């Protein structure tokens, strides 16, 4: 194993602790800048993972990188479509409600960045440990590190759930408000999924014949810890993920053992099931009627009131059911084009008025991984999910045939987690987006990476087919982006229908997060860039001007007044400056005015007197409006990351 492979693998193991134990350490010790240090370690692991994968399999590495790039391009094309036109600056548009292009593009990053951080190191790691059937030192290290992370979290759950919910809970989102212990994980929701998935993986190992009783007992103890922790966490997602998975496994095992008349194993399964029920009863009695089991039971009793599938889901969880319906409607409308990864917030506002829910629906992260991916990526999202299902089936069949030559550690890492762990992972994926937190993304890569390694290493044809599939998906998304560029509307028309008014780009200097979406105690990378490098402090109102906003050097604005003025300044910008204003009538006839400025000044402009422009202010609609294209070259660049054209007062744009 080369030095790069070793570094990649050991950083991947180290990131177990950063994902599952130390992810909220910056909030706990009130040292927010430490978060960037943790993310830097994730990034380093990703870089070494990419290099390691490249040395092992160039085709797979390039195809996945190209696919990631195409997802970003596809999202950008959806969120900044008018800027795909020639001579229109990239600027922040208002997409709907309080959702802007900059904000939703940060969602694209959030929806994929941690998965990207971990997937290449995970592929490198599993590619190494899958080379032969012998146990390697790093497999054993990984198993015990994972077990240690689970145990540490479980004891933290115990203390939080039994004594003090505030213990090590800083920065855990809504955990305190919901009175649900988060352990040391991102929040209580991520914690419930963590406990459901790993609780089931440790539980399922006790039924494997090839594992010694010593390891079975150790894993069973960890399962009990996860079970009690999950009951204290008291999330419906935990009950759904763990108990449904355990039920499925127990039923299958009972059928097999009854058929084979193995009465000792039948007794073991029955007694284990009884023990789980007893522990559940004890903890739920401690919780009294606040336990989610009672909530689920009461909700199930109400289902008989209406047989409609959506209404059934609404009884169980109205918010998630509403989100699912929003995603489903978006899939029907945009299946072949997609709306861009992370676009749920836009789709939420676009669909909420159409569906007219009687109860208010809360905007949140997409609450269904599968539908979210299909809604955002359309046909490609469905194709990728279908292809991953094929990889899973092939991996399960192939590994079951060859698992006898492996020891306990290899079986746990290569068989139990990626095959049996997929059961609760799939279940909870239907109630949350599983790639948004570091902990959940890490778990996702533990499950998915072995499928990729197994499929691409099996034979040359499958390796080529894998890379070809993702190249074709990438090309499809690039073609969609080109279509969006070709059909890009004038800036005022962009999202006019959804917003109910003409588009006016956001003022420069406004941060991308919409109101209410940030936590004041946290430091955001976008804040640092804007405060330190953005030059926002220089974006002030000209002395003799009214309230208005600064625009990018090249933009388009709807005509609302026959006369208007723009300010080209300040003194610190480079002169001379060329100002070009192109007026477009409702019939898209053009009139142009060009000026050259030698100093900062207000430029007074008037709509052309030509007959074709006389109707600009009559019956203005989406299909009949006048607009002007303003170009101010060269741009004023108060900082490396800011390019500014001119200032215009609000009375001329609103």
Least trusted range by pLDDT, from 79-93, 180-194, 211-225, 506-520: 506-520
- Report yes or no on 527 lying in a domain: yes
- What confidence score (pLDDT) does residue 129 get? 87
- What confidence score (pLDDT) does residue 175 get? 86
- What confidence score (pLDDT) does residue 512 get? 45
- Cα(262)–Cα(253) distance, integer angstroms: 11
- Cα(1)–Cα(649) distance, integer angstroms: 64
- What confidence score (pLDDT) does residue 179 get? 87
Question: Which runs of consecutive H residues, i.e. helices, occur in 205-291?
Answer: 213-233, 236-238, 244-260, 263-287
- What confidence score (pLDDT) does residue 517 get? 42
Average pLDDT estimate for 37-42: 96
- Which carries the bigger pLDDT value, residue 402 or residue 443? 443
Yes or no: say if 446 and 422 are a contact pair by the CB < 8 Å rule. Answer: no
Q: Do both 55 and 110 map to the same domain? A: yes
Q: Do both 485 and 533 map to the same domain? A: no
3-state secondary structure of 259: helix
Order of strands across the sheet that contains 627-633: 554-558, 627-633, 577-584, 590-597
- What confidence score (pLDDT) does residue 511 get? 42
- What confidence score (pLDDT) does residue 514 get? 41
Instruction: Look up the domain containing 541 and give its range.
Output: 522-652
Q: Do both 478 and 563 map to the same domain? A: no
Instruction: Please give the share of the chain, as a percent, with pLDDT higher than 90.
Output: 59
- Cα(65)–Cα(112) distance, integer angstroms: 13
- Report yes or no on 610 lying in a domain: yes
Q: Do both 469 and 569 map to the same domain? A: no
Average pLDDT estimate for 452-464: 89
Name the strand (E) or helix (H) holding 108. helix 101-129
* Total of domains in the chain: 2
- Cα(537)–Cα(460) distance, integer angstroms: 58
In this predicted structure, the answer to whether residue 116 has a pLDDT above a threshold of 60 is: yes
Domain boundary among 449, 479, 505: 505
In this predicted structure, the answer to whether residue 526 has a pLDDT above a threshold of 80 is: no
Yes or no: say if 290 and 234 are a contact pair by the CB < 8 Å rule. Answer: yes
Average pLDDT estimate for 353-373: 87
Yes or no: say if 104 and 343 are a contact pair by the CB < 8 Å rule. Answer: yes
Q: Encoding tokens for residue 259?
A: 């058929």
Q: Do both 14 and 128 map to the same domain? A: yes
- Cα(188)–Cα(160) distance, integer angstroms: 11
Measured from the Cβ of residue 387, the count of other Cβ atoms closer than 10 Å reads 17
- What confidence score (pLDDT) does residue 164 get? 92
Name the strand (E) or helix (H) holding 633. strand 627-633
Q: Do both 488 and 604 map to the same domain? A: no
Q: Do both 496 and 529 map to the same domain? A: no
In this predicted structure, the answer to whether residue 498 has a pLDDT above a threshold of 80 is: yes
Q: Encoding tokens for residue 370?
A: 């599968």
- Report yes or no on 636 lying in a domain: yes
Question: 506: pLDDT confidence band, cut at 50, 70 and 90?
Answer: confident
- Report yes or no on 54 lying in a domain: yes
Q: Do both 597 and 488 map to the same domain? A: no
- Report yes or no on 194 lying in a domain: no
Least trusted range by pLDDT, from 109-118, 229-238, 279-288: 279-288
- What confidence score (pLDDT) does residue 97 get? 74
* Chain Cα centroid distance, residue 551: 30
Question: 73: pLDDT confidence band, cut at 50, 70 and 90?
Answer: very high
Q: Encoding tokens for residue 61?
A: 């590495």
Model pLDDT for residues 235-266, shown as the tens digit of each residue: 888 988 998 999 888 888 888 777 777 766 67
* Chain Cα centroid distance, residue 307: 33
- Report yes or no on 6 lying in a domain: yes
Average pLDDT estimate for 141-162: 95
For the chain, counts of helices (H) and of strands (E): 24, 12
Domain boundary among 441, 474, 505: 505
Q: Do both 489 and 586 map to the same domain? A: no
- Report yes or no on 28 lying in a domain: yes
- Report yes or no on 190 lying in a domain: no
In this predicted structure, the answer to whether residue 48 has a pLDDT above a threshold of 80 is: yes
Q: Do both 31 and 100 map to the same domain? A: yes
Q: Do both 475 and 534 map to the same domain? A: no
In this predicted structure, the answer to whether residue 214 has a pLDDT above a threshold of 80 is: yes
- What confidence score (pLDDT) does residue 105 get? 93
Helices 137-162 + 188-204 axis angle, to 10:
130
Average pLDDT, the chain: 87
Average pLDDT estimate for 146-152: 97
Question: 371: pLDDT confidence band, cut at 50, 70 and 90?
Answer: very high
- What confidence score (pLDDT) does residue 347 get? 92
Model pLDDT for residues 260-315, shown as the tens digit of each residue: 777 666 777 777 777 777 777 776 666 555 555 555 555 555 555 455 566 666 66
Q: Is the C-alpha dihedral spanning 34, 35, 41, 44 positive or negative?
A: negative
Model pLDDT for residues 588-628, shown as the tens digit of each residue: 999 999 999 999 999 999 999 888 898 898 889 999 999 99
- What confidence score (pLDDT) does residue 177 get? 83
- What confidence score (pLDDT) does residue 525 get? 53
The separation between the first and the last C-alpha atoms of the chain, rounded to the nearest angstrom, is 64
Model pLDDT for residues 566-582, shown as the tens digit of each residue: 999 888 889 999 999 99
Model pLDDT for residues 472-493, shown as the tens digit of each residue: 999 999 999 999 999 999 999 9
Q: Encoding tokens for residue 654?
A: 């609103």
Domain boundary among 475, 505, 535: 505
- Cα(548)–Cα(526) distance, integer angstroms: 24
pTM of structure: 0.91
- What confidence score (pLDDT) does residue 593 get? 94
- What confidence score (pLDDT) does residue 287 get? 57
Average pLDDT estimate for 76-105: 92
DSSP string, 443-479: HHHHHHHHHHHHHHHH-HHHHHHHHHHHHHHHHHHHH
Q: Do both 123 and 2 map to the same domain? A: yes
Question: 96: pLDDT confidence band, cut at 50, 70 and 90?
Answer: confident
Yes or no: say if 185 and 191 are a contact pair by the CB < 8 Å rule. Answer: yes
């Amino acid at each position: 194993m080369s030095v790069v492979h070793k570094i990649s693998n050991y950083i991947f193991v180290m990131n177990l602790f950063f994902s599952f134990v130390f992810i909220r350490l910056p909030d706990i010790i009130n040292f927010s800048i430490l978060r960037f240090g943790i993310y830097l370690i994730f990034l380093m692991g990703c870089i070494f993972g990419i290099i390691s994968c490249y040395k092992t399999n160039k085709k797979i590495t390039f195809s996945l990188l190209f696919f990631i790039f195409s997802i970003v391009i596809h999202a950008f094309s959806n969120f900044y479509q008018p800027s795909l036109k020639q001579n229109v600056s990239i600027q922040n548009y208002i997409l709907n409600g309080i959702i802007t292009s900059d904000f939703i593009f940060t969602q694209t990053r959030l929806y994929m960045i941690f998965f990207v951080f971990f997937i290449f190191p995970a592929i490198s790691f599993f590619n190494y440990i899958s080379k032969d059937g012998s146990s390697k030192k790093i497999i054993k290290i990984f198993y015990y590190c994972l077990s240690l992370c689970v145990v540490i979290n479980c004891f933290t759950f115990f203390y939080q759930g039994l004594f003090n919910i505030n213990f090590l809970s800083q920065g855990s989102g809504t955990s305190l408000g919901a009175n649900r212990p988060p352990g040391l994980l991102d929040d209580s929701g991520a914690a419930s999924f963590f406990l459901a998935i790993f609780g089931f993986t440790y539980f399922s190992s006790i039924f494997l014949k090839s594992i010694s009783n010593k390891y079975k007992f150790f894993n069973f103890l960890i399962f009990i810890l996860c079970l009690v922790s999950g009951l204290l966490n008291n999330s419906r997602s935990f009950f759904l993920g763990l108990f449904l998975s355990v039920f499925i496994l127990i039923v299958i095992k009972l059928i097999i053992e009854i058929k084979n008349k193995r009465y000792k194993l039948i007794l073991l399964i029955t007694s284990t099931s009884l023990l789980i029920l007893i522990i559940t009863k004890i903890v739920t009695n401690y919780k009294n009627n606040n336990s989610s089991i009672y909530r689920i039971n009461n909700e199930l009793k109400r289902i008989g009131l209406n047989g409609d599938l959506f209404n059934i889901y609404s009884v169980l969880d109205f918010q998630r059911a509403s989100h699912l319906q929003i995603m489903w409607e978006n899939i029907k409308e945009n299946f072949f084009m997609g709306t861009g990864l992370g676009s749920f917030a836009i789709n939420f506002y676009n669909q909420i008025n159409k569906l007219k829910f009687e109860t208010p629906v809360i905007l949140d992260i997409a609450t269904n991984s599968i539908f979210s991916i299909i809604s955002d990526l359309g046909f490609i999202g469905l194709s990728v999910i279908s292809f991953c299902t094929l990889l899973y089936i092939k991996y399960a069949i192939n590994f079951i045939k060859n698992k006898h030559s492996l020891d306990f550690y290899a079986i746990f890492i290569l068989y139990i987690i990626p095959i049996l762990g997929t059961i609760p992972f799939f279940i909870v994926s239907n109630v949350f987006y599983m790639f948004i937190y570091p902990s959940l993304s890490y778990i996702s890569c533990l499950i998915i990476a072995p499928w990729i390694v197994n499929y691409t290493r099996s034979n040359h044809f499958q390796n080529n087919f894998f890379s070809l599939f993702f190249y074709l998906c990438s090309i499809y998304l690039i073609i969609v982006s080109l279509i969006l560029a070709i059909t890009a509307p004038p800036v005022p028309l962009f999202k006019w229908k959804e917003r109910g008014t003409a588009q006016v780009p956001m003022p420069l200097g406004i941060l991308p997060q919409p109101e209410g979406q940030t936590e004041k105690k946290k430091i955001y990378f976008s804040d640092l860039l804007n405060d330190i490098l953005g030059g926002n402090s220089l974006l002030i109102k000209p002395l003799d001007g009214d309230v208005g906003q600064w625009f990018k050097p090249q933009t388009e604005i709807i005509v609302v007044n026959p006369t208007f003025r723009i300010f080209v300044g300040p003194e610190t910008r480079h002169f001379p400056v060329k100002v070009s204003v192109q007026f477009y009538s409702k019939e898209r006839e053009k009139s142009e005015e060009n000026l050259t400025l030698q100093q900062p000044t207000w430029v007074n402009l008037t709509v052309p007197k030509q007959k074709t422009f006389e109707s600009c202010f009559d019956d203005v609609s989406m299909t009949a409006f006048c607009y002007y294209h303003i170009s101010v070259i060269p741009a004023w660049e108060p900082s490396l990351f800011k390019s500014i054209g001119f200032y215009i007062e609000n009375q001329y744009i609103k």
